[in-house]
Amino acid sequence: QKEVEQNSGPLSVPEGAIASLNCTYSDRGSQSFFWYRQYSGKSPELIMFIYSNGDKEDGRFTAQLNKASQYVSLLIRDSQPSDSATYLCAVDTGRRALTFGSGTRLQVQP
Amino acid sequence: DAMVIQNPRYQVTQFGKPVTLSCSQTLNHNVMYWYQQKSSQAPKLLFHYYDKDFNNEADTPDNFQSRRPNTSFCFLDIRSPGLGDAAMYLCATSSLAGGGEQYFGPGTRLTVT
């Protein structure tokens, strides 16, 4: 079983819609959770991090964490074509090292 | 602006010819990481440093070595590159005072011929 799992996609949404990206993790001791955006051929860019159960909002982005279900998600409101990228979920199990999922490719259709 | 810098951005080496990739940071972060990322795959952690303390991942091949001569610089040495080592190599940094978030440099794309 992979430690961090994401649907590879592509997830295709129309411009202006809400994109919902999901991630599950296997280690119940995981403490910190991160979402990175990666454009093709570029390096990952940090978008959001969340430590506590519930929702955390930053502009058009909302991260949601449910530790009981070992589930973390990222919502992107008012999706734009410039949001088209691969979104990587990453988990820190407490040793200051991140385990990444393989990413979900998001396509926002104009 | 504080940043993570990687040089070179593109590196071509021959099969078996040693190569060194470099990373520098102006963030003054304690922790530096090296990842390998192949196409459509997750970044794979090779090793990381807490200050000068070196932490090697169990499945990192012996062919990969690293040096951190000071807080600002970290190097990745590939002693005998094989065709399977062609990948994007990512350097990242993190502050122990933070919550674990890591900041990546632009990466070095390594091609092995």
Tell me the average pLDDT across A53-82.
97
Chain A closest CA to B76's CA: distance in Å? 17
pLDDT digits (tens, 9 = 90+) for B28-79: 999 999 999 999 999 999 999 999 999 999 999 999 999 999 999 999 999 9
Q: What's the pLDDT score for residue B60?
A: 95
CA distances from A96 to A71, A77, B41, B66 (A): 20, 30, 21, 18
Cis peptide preceding B69, ω within 30 of 0: no
pLDDT digits (tens, 9 = 90+) for B69-81: 999 999 999 999 9
pLDDT class of A94 with cuts at 50, 70, 90: confident
**Which B positions 42-101 lie with beta carbon below 8 A of chain A?**
42-45, 48, 50, 55, 88, 90, 94, 96, 99-101
Q: Which residues contact B9 (CB under 8 A, 6 or more apart)?
A: B106, B107, B108, B109
